[in-house]
Structure 1
Amino acid sequence: MSLPPLTLISEATLKTKEGQEIKARELWAQQPCFLYCIRRPGCVLCRDEAQKLWREQQALTNAGLKVACIVHEWIDREINAFVPEYWAGDIYHDADKAFYKAFGQGDLRTASSLALLNPLNPAWGRILAARKNVKDSNVNGEASILGGLLVVKAGEGGIAWMHAEKTFGEFPDTQDVIAAAKEALGAAQ
């Protein structure tokens, strides 16, 4: 999958936990940025991935990256349970879903929860593994919109690396994510 143009996300209006609105480009104006765009803050898979990525936050920061999380819907109860338990850093609300549309080159990518009716769906193995690491989760909110990971170069440098979730909870190994982020930044400089 080719990388989306920066224009798909740079003008998106994001809202902070405190209610302040910013343009997305402000996140990477001064330094490259690593963004985790989650499907749902209450999701066991999303919480597990968030805590894995947050444990490696220092490695990403040491590589020169700002680290932030993006959500497409803001349910106070869900955000308050997610932050700081699973993600202790900055979190932003993308009400227009610009980041989520970027994973689909401008189109919102979704997956059907009906796929979970198949007991052989690989998501079930990921769910069972995540339940060992996550003390609580729920099914509140919109779950079909797929997320992913982005590394954005500083300024107007563009998107350096992307992982678009293909099915529920499908993410690369955390160490592979860090290596890819560092490599993308090294190649971009």
Structure 2
Amino acid sequence: MSSFALEDFVGNGVLRDQMESLMADGWDDVPTLKVMSREDMDLLQLSQMQRDALELRTYLHDKLLMEYADTLEASGKNLQELLKSSPSELSSEYKMKRGHVARFLDRGSACGIQVPNDLVIPARKATAAHHGGASLSPPRSMSVSPPRQRRSESSNASYADSRASPPEEQPEHKPPVIVRPMTSQAPPASHAIFSAPKVEPRLCGLVKLGVMKEEVTPLSALENIMIQKLAPQHSKGVNPFKGKEPIQLAAPFKASQLWAEKPTLILCLRRPGCVMCRAEAHQLYARKPIFDAMGIQLVVVLNEHIDAEVRQFWPRYWGGMVVADTHRDFFKALGQGELPKEGFVTGFLLNSIAKANYKRAKATGVEGNYAGEGTIKGGLFIMRPGNGGVAYQFVERNFGDWAPIEEVLEVCGNIQNR
């Protein structure tokens, strides 16, 4: 799976020398760079070579082919020209493996993230302000229903045409877009949503999981949890890890500080080396521009601290803040007072849902390992700012369950509109 490290994304190409300028305007992470529009490029006065490089690297990042980015960019050809290459040419000139050639030429499988038209990402606002662009109005108010409805848009032309078309035009191809549905009435401001997938009896019904109450954790059970920061929000040049020395844990602080001033999405990961956990974190962080536009902070909580695992996880699979909850209090809250644990045999080998979840994660190209505690299940909280409490709580019932992204975005959109 493609890395979210900025240095890996820009590589040794023409964008490398432009990064300081881009960062000054807020284009300081990979997901945000990937949603840059033609208008943004005009205001930033990017050269044609820089535009071509960004388009090419965005495509390769989506295709999990970043290992070829420097070589393909150095060829001097743009993406459209490279897509016209024959398989033999890609193989001989660029040393592309056979399976990678097929993936590169398959334009139909491109599935980049697009920001809904009613949202304006902070980097776009900063660019317009710094470079004299047209004033950008705030996102239009939208009312959002409890998360049940799902909508998407897609069509069938080239990836390059999608990125080249301005927002007001109808492009030939638009990658799948998560759109928050509009309804006539939003849920009450204090409304909280509990979400958990179904579980199946194990071993012909001989092994059953306990019944879980559909109750959201009260704020009082979360606000005093003590956590320690392992890694900050990723940006160019930011490296909290000093060589091979052990990671120095920061002083413990109350979890309530995370959401004191802004709404926060908290992803409680079972294990950072787990294939399913890495894939979940990656697909959430890929939507960072959308969360940024809604004012949502992204945080991962780990239930243990293993140096090597944190270094492998951040920022490759997740570029947001990472904290350690060594007392596992967030996880106990997800288990309604008890750690939500299950063994490998009943939880995975005898669980068809968990095995399907594993196949889904492996299909994304993620690699994993078996280091660390892997029997404690995780979940996700969306916290309102200040004393607003929990807006949404998802509990991992089967290994590899993910909070439905449509639900997550709908809840975040509702918080934004309050």
1:70 is paired with a residue whose SS is strand
Give the gaps of 5 or more residues in structure 1: none
Query: Does the aligned pair in 2 maintain the 1:111–1:167 contact within 8 Å?
Result: no
Cα displacement string for residues 131-188 of structure 1 (whole angstroms, at most 9, x for unaligned residues): 12244201111111111110111111111111011110111332332123323x268x
Higher relative contact order (CA 8 A, sep 6+): 1
Of 207, 217, 220, which aligns to 1:7? 220
- Say if 1:140 and 1:60 are closer, same or farther in 2 by CA, change over 3 A: same
Query: Does the aligned pair in 2 maintain the 1:13–1:24 contact within 8 Å?
Result: yes
1:84-163 correspondence runs (5 A): 84-115=315-346, 116-118=348-350, 121-163=352-394
How big is the shift at 1:61?
Answer: 2.0
TM-score, normalised on structure 1?
A: 0.92
Q: Once superposed, which parts of structure 1, at least 4 consecutive aligned residues long, lie more than 6 Å away?
A: none
- Supply the distance in 2 between the matched residues of 1:126 and 1:8 (Cα, whole angstroms): 30
Cα displacement string for residues 29-71 of structure 1 (whole angstroms, at most 9, x for unaligned residues): 1111111000000000000000000001221221121111100
2:222 is paired with a residue whose SS is helix
Query: Does the aligned pair in 1 maintain the 2:331–2:339 contact within 8 Å?
Result: yes
- Say if 1:173 and 1:147 are closer, same or farther in 2 by CA, change over 3 A: same
Aligned residues: 186
**2:395 maps to which residue?**
164
**1:179 maps to which residue?**
410
- Supply the distance in 1 between the matched residues of 2:382 and 2:366 (Cα, whole angstroms): 29
Query: Does the aligned pair in 2 maintain the 1:43–1:138 contact within 8 Å?
Result: yes
What letter corresponds to residue 8 of structure 1 in structure 2? Answer: A
- Supply the distance in 2 between the matched residues of 1:27 and 1:78 (Cα, whole angstroms): 23
- Supply the distance in 1 between the matched residues of 2:356 and 2:279 (Cα, whole angstroms): 13
- Supply the distance in 2 between the matched residues of 1:169 and 1:29 (Cα, whole angstroms): 30
Of 29, 53, 69, which aligns to 2:284? 53
1:138 is paired with a residue whose SS is coil
What letter corresponds to residue 222 of structure 2 in structure 1? Answer: I
1:161 is paired with a residue whose SS is strand
Give the gaps of 5 or more residues in structure 2: 1-213, 231-247
- Say if 1:80 and 1:159 are closer, same or farther in 2 by CA, change over 3 A: same
Percent identity of the aligned residues? 30
- Supply the distance in 2 between the matched residues of 1:68 and 1:12 (Cα, whole angstroms): 15
- Say if 1:134 and 1:71 are closer, same or farther in 2 by CA, change over 3 A: farther
Which structure has the greater CA radius of gyration?
Answer: 2
Of 41, 66, 70, which aligns to 2:301? 70
Of 236, 249, 271, which aligns to 1:19? 249
